[in-house]
């Protein structure tokens, strides 16, 4: 069933570390060998052995309207004829910036980069440059890319591989990273008081997606907003996952809380390598060439990446009903998963907000990293394979949210629910 994938994985390991270009792809936590993908269309992934899967990763978010969405494919094909990069400004970059501003109204200026990592790394540097402070607060289990400062209690990838301390990140850097449990406002207040006038920024996934899906508790984001305003701390919403997914204006719009700086990735590039960070002019004007906080990129604002992202974002803006459709589908799936799991007798929790959803096998509410880690994740790992064998491609770790695309129709959702019933019966009878 997986012969060609196995052969490719063998070959890949001879020339690529671990055979993959990003660790979570390696199936290491769930065990087994990764499946190699040949192509995808709509809700479906096709592997090199002729198997097909209903896709709940969607390239970790970007394929919110499904794979190979025609308008994006066409736009890229047209644009590529005019060369792939110039290293000089283009009108398209202005169109993109204006479109982002129209979707997230509290953004005055926005800088394009090439990944979510770059966006978060640059936003943090900017917050430090702007405030003249060094420390920042992040939350256990939140992932903000792989820049040194963020690789402290950093969620999915590291949790999946049980990496506690990352070799190569110096103590000096790690010492400036303060961490709190997600949803623990009291702990944030204590840290801020203890490090009075030293905290440059609080960065958070406004809906966490890198320890499974964990929504913010009532009043939590509002509390962070208040603390930041009172203490002159820059509030950074890492919307790499939630941006353009939870609403046209992301979590800021969906949850009615404004950040000072916002970072984007994933959906913003429609599957091309794109990130962005933006915010109020007062802060953003400190970025070079306006200010002294240096940040640059040879390929930033790349025309092919911009036309792909622009085409997708424009569609999301114009067809606002996409968001209610996505939510309806996710709620339908949630109800089906709920029924399938309750039949099995195994304790579970389903967390969901908008088109983000995940299952934790726990009899306790899952509200932070500790409660996510305390779940029966070994069982999830077995479930992953039982689902894969049935043609359902879930994220290969219990510490990841599932990404719903609008290409999923009732037939695929029903197939997923039926597969879960079967898979649970198989696993629990064994």
Ligand X SMILES: *Cc1c(COP(=O)(O)O)cnc(C)c1O
User: Which residues are known to be catalytic?
Assistant: 143, 238, 266
Q: Which stretch binds ligand X (CB under 6 A): 87-95, 110-118, 167-175, 414-422?
A: 110-118
| Contact track, ligand X, 195-214, x by CB under 6 A | ----------x---xx----
Shortest Cβ 25–ligand X spacing (Å): 12
Residue 55 forms beta bridges with which residues?
393
Nearer to ligand X, 35 or 240 (CB): 240
For the purposes of burial, counting CB atoms within 10 Å of the CB of 171, is it exposed (0-12), middle (13-18) or buried (19 or more)?
Answer: exposed
Q: Which stretch binds ligand X (CB under 6 A): 72-80, 164-172, 238-246, 319-327?
A: 238-246
Q: How far is CA 156 from CA 36, 179, 383, in A?
A: 21, 16, 18
- For residue 391, what is the DSSP state? T
Shortest Cβ 7–ligand X spacing (Å): 28
Separation of alpha carbons 124 and 340, rounded Å? 43
Count of positions (residues) in the chain: 430
Shortest Cβ 114–ligand X spacing (Å): 8
Contact 155, 398 (CB under 8 A): no
The one among 47, 55, 176, 238 contacting ligand X by CB under 6 A: 238
**Which residues, numbered 248-267, are part of the site for ligand X (CB under 6 A)?**
265
Measured over the CA atoms of residue 61, residue 221, residue 100 and residue 244, the dihedral's sign is positive
Q: Which stretch binds ligand X (CB under 6 A): 113-121, 172-180, 304-312, 315-323?
A: 113-121
When asked if residue 246 is in the footprint of ligand X (CB under 6 A), the reply is no
Residue 419: HSE in the Cβ half-sphere, 13 Å Cα cutoff? 21
When asked if residue 403 is in the footprint of ligand X (CB under 6 A), the reply is no
- Give the residue ranges of DSSP H helices in 161-255: 171-175, 185-194, 220-231, 250-255
When asked if residue 120 is in the footprint of ligand X (CB under 6 A), the reply is yes
Query: Smallest Cα–Cα separation from 313: which of 281, 265, 354, 261?
Result: 265
Contact 340, 417 (CB under 8 A): yes
Measured over the CA atoms of residue 247, residue 249, residue 250 and residue 255, the dihedral's sign is negative
Nearer to ligand X, 115 or 330 (CB): 115
| Contact track, ligand X, 125-164, x by CB under 6 A | ------------------xxx-------------------
Shortest Cβ 44–ligand X spacing (Å): 23
When asked if residue 117 is in the footprint of ligand X (CB under 6 A), the reply is yes
Shortest Cβ 413–ligand X spacing (Å): 24
Residues near ligand X (CB under 6 A): 115-117, 120, 143-145, 205, 209-210, 238, 240-241, 265, 275
């Amino acid at each position: 069933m997986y012969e060609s994938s196995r052969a490719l994985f063998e070959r890949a390991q001879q020339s690529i570390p671990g055979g993959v270009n990003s660790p979570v792809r390696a199936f290491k936590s769930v065990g087994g060998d990764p499946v190699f993908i040949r192509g995808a269309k709509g809700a479906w992934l096709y592997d090199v052995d002729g198997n097909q899967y209903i896709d709940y990763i969607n390239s970790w978010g970007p394929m919110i309207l499904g794979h190979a969405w025609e308008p994006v494919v066409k736009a890229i094909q047209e644009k590529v004829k005019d060369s792939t990069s110039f290293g000089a400004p283009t009108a398209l970059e202005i169109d993109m910036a204006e479109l982002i501003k129209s979707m997230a109204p509290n953004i005055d200026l926005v800088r394009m980069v090439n990944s979510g990592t770059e966006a978060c790394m640059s936003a943090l540097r900017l917050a430090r440059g702007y405030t003249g402070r060094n420390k920042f607060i992040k939350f256990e289990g939140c992932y903000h890319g792989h820049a040194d400062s963020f690789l402290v209690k950093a969620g999915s990838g590291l949790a999946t591989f049980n990496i506690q301390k990352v070799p190569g990140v110096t103590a000096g850097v790690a010492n400036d990273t303060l961490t709190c449990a997600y949803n623990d406002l009291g702990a944030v207040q204590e840290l801020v008081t203890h490090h009075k006038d030293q905290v440059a920024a609080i960065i958070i996934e406004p809906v966490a997606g890198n320890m499974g899906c964990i929504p913010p508790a009532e009043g939590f984001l509002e509390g962070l907003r208040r603390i930041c305003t009172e203490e002159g701390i820059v509030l950074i919403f890492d919307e790499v996952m939630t941006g353009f997914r939870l609403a046209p204006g992301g979590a800021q719009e969906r949850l009615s809380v404004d950040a000072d700086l916002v970072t984007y990735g994933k959906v913003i590039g429609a599957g091309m390598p794109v990130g962005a960070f933006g915010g109020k002019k007062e802060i953003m004007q400190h970025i070079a060439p306006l200010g002294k906080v240096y940040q640059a990129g040879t390929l930033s604002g790349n025309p092919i990446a911009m036309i792909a992202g622009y085409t997708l974002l424009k569609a999301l803006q114009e067809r606002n009903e996409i968001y209610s459709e996505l939510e309806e589908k996710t709620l339908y799936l949630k109800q089906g998963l709920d029924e399938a799991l309750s039949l099995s007798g195994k304790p579970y929790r389903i967390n969901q907000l908008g088109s983000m959803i995940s299952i934790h096998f726990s009899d306790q509410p899952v509200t932070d990293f500790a409660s996510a880690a305390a779940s029966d994740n070994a069982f999830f790992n077995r479930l992953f394979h039982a689902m894969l064998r049935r043609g359902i491609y879930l994220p290969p770790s219990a510490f990841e949210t599932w990404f719903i695309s609008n290409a999923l129709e009732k037939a695929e959702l029903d197939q997923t629910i039926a597969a879960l019933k079967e898979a649970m019966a198989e696993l629990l009878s064994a």
